[in-house]
Amino acid sequence: MKKINILLADDHQIILDGLQSFLAHEAELDIIGTALNGEETLQLLQLHHVDVAVLDINMPKPDGLELARIIRKQYPKTKVILLTMIGDGNYILKAMQQGIDGYVIKERSKDTLIGAIHAVYRGATFFPPDLWPRVQEAQRNAQPSAEEVQLTIREKEVICLLVEDPGLSNKEIAERMFIAEFTVQTHFQNARKKLGAKTKGELIKFAMENGMCAELKKN
């Protein structure tokens, strides 16, 4: 019977020792290596065929989510499970959006992790059912990304003027853009509707988080 090659990565040696200790008793699993950070993980992946990589999120060089993205791009046959203390719905949602194969909270039993390893190795995904309410809540509260929202150039321009100077009034923005104050109000109303934003502060936050103004200057 072919064994499942496992790679374990966590920035705490005591966690790695514990994982190795109980997984070593599983006849169908073979731990090919352990890593304390992202760089060590990628080095091991260059040297060994890995069926399943079990990663902590809070790791340096890079963190687990970024490391998972790299693995999916460079080693598409390697399945990725995030093993973490973080049960926040936003993190779980990000993991799902990046195509992570499994998500296991560290407080669960060892049997949960073993089940997750077997599930993702077979080609399934593993997200425990009790995590779904957290994901659904995060989806309801999630702000759309810049790629998902089609703002006009003018709408972006009025928002980016606020990013540069949050104290500007609609009248002052209108004067800088050589347009009517009513037109500025209309641009803000349309942008808020598209983004589901209630305030100008939320528009500023969206622009900064998505690098919208830097992109606008390039164009």
**Does 146 map to a domain?**
no
**Does 211 map to a domain?**
yes
Going by C-alpha positions, the residue among 158, 146, 147, 160 that lies closest to residue 186 is 158
Q: How far is CA 16 from the centre of its chain?
A: 23
Percentage of the chain surpassing pLDDT 70? Answer: 93
Q: How many structural domains compose the chain?
A: 2
Contact assessment for residue 2 and residue 11, using Cβ atoms and an 8 Å cutoff: no
In the predicted model, is pLDDT for residue 9 greater than 90? yes
For residue 160, the enclosing domain spans 153-218
In the predicted model, is pLDDT for residue 45 greater than 90? yes
User: Average pLDDT of the chain?
Assistant: 88
Going by C-alpha positions, the residue among 165, 186, 190 that lies closest to residue 176 is 165
In the predicted model, is pLDDT for residue 127 greater than 90? no
Average pLDDT over residues 4-14: 95
Q: Which stretches does DSSP call E strand in 36-162?
A: 52-55, 79-84, 102-105
pLDDT at 64: 86
Q: What is the pLDDT of residues 61-82, one digit of tens each?
A: 888 888 998 999 999 999 999 9
Q: What is the CATH number of the domain that holds 128?
A: 3.40.50.2300
Least confident of 48-62, 86-100, 114-128: 86-100
